[in-house]
Chains A and B, each alone.
Chain A
Amino acid sequence: MIKHLCGTLVLFAMVGCASDPAPIEQLRLTEQALNQARSLGASDLTLAEQKLAAAEAAMKSEHYREARLQAEQAELDARLAEARVLNEKSQQGLAELHRRIARLREQLGALQ
């Protein structure tokens, strides 16, 4: 029993030592990244949202290190989703340009 208690104490001490201050700024950044990705129409944000939720839960239970890790990953998940959606849009733009050029070439061919 005593052994058990000691072990738990040591574990808490270790977690305590390794843990950072509350990552308030990181959570704000993550939320901002998520909002931005959302406003650009990114669809695959589930991963980022799940991690942000996990980070918020960890914040409540004062597991600040866990909160920071989850929030950092969520931020990059969101930024990647945003980069993907922007890339996709630029590809669609290109496809549209190709279509219009093909149409004009056709018209030109018919006129000559």
Chain B
Amino acid sequence: MKPVYLIPALLVALGALSGCATHESQQQQLEDAAMTFQSISEVPQILQDAPKDVMRAGESLERAKRFAGYWGSAEDVIHYAYLSKRYSEIARQHSEQLQNQRRATQLSMELERLRQAVQEARILDMQHQGRWLEDQMVSLAAAETDRGLVMTLGDVLFRAASAELGASANRTLLKVVHFLQLNPKRRIRIEGYTDNRGDAAENLALSKARAQTVGDFMQSLGIDAGRIEVVGYGEQYRVAENASARGRAQNRRVEILFSDEQGRLSSPR
């Protein structure tokens, strides 16, 4: 008979024990979970984005509250309060992620619009630069003559007595290539000239070779061969006296004659 009496007493003791130790934390957990749940269920966006998680957070919270009404179920209260809080947090994260994704879609469209705008602006800018380059050629490197627009490449662009281009030539010639790319109808005639020192036939050959080198360089950068004429004039058509070193240096040159916008070049000399 003795044990039968003991059972209720033990039950009470057990309940009291677990109840006392955890009652406070149980209450705390329950309040936390309820607050977290309230904070998310107040936000329509979260309800819309994560309805299932919100629902589960609510259900778990209800369960925790129900257990709180019984003695000795602190562990369950804390457990379901914990689950409820987790569901609430998951709902919040999920909704934030979806909002970010929607924003990303909008931004991607804006990005695409901007990309197109930049592309258009770049084309405009290139046309601008083409005009600017043209202006620059007229004002600096090239001179308007009765034969048309002429650009003179000095002797220094070549290695001495050779048809090989020096490194400094590239920059200048690249400008010309760029100009021709932007003005696809224009054509050029490349003319080589020398001073009067040495053999006339050799000079003629050298002048032709230098002009050809310039033409080849432009072709290698994609200018159609049909747009380029190449001529060597040797010692003829000097621009300065051959008596002085300075004058001879001026005579050793390559001239690039530009056609008009329709591609008409003046006839060769």
Contacts and interface: CB of A to CB of B under 8 A. Distances in A.
Q: Which DSSP category, helix, strand, loop or mixed, fits chain A's interface? A: helix
A83 B83 CA distance: 15
Contacts of B103: 94
A87 B100 contact: yes
A61 interface: no
Contacts of A79: 86, 90
A59 to B, nearest CB: 17
B107 A94 contact: yes
Interface in B78-100: 79, 82-83, 86-87, 89-90, 93-94, 96-97, 100
A72 B79 contact: yes
Contacts of B161: none
A112 B114 CA distance: 13
A63 interface: no
B16 interface: no
In this complex, the interface size class of chain B, counting residues with CB under 8 Å from chain A, is: 35 or more
B141 interface: no
Interface in B116-159: 117-118, 121-122, 124-125
B101 interface: yes
A4 to B, nearest CB: 10
A57 interface: no
A83 B111 CA distance: 27
Q: Which of A7, A11, A76 has its CB near the most chain B CB atoms (within 10 A)? A: A76
A101 B111 CA distance: 6
B125 A83 contact: no
A112 B6 contact: no
A54 interface: no
B46 to A, nearest CB: 12
Contact of B2 (A2, A91, A97): A2
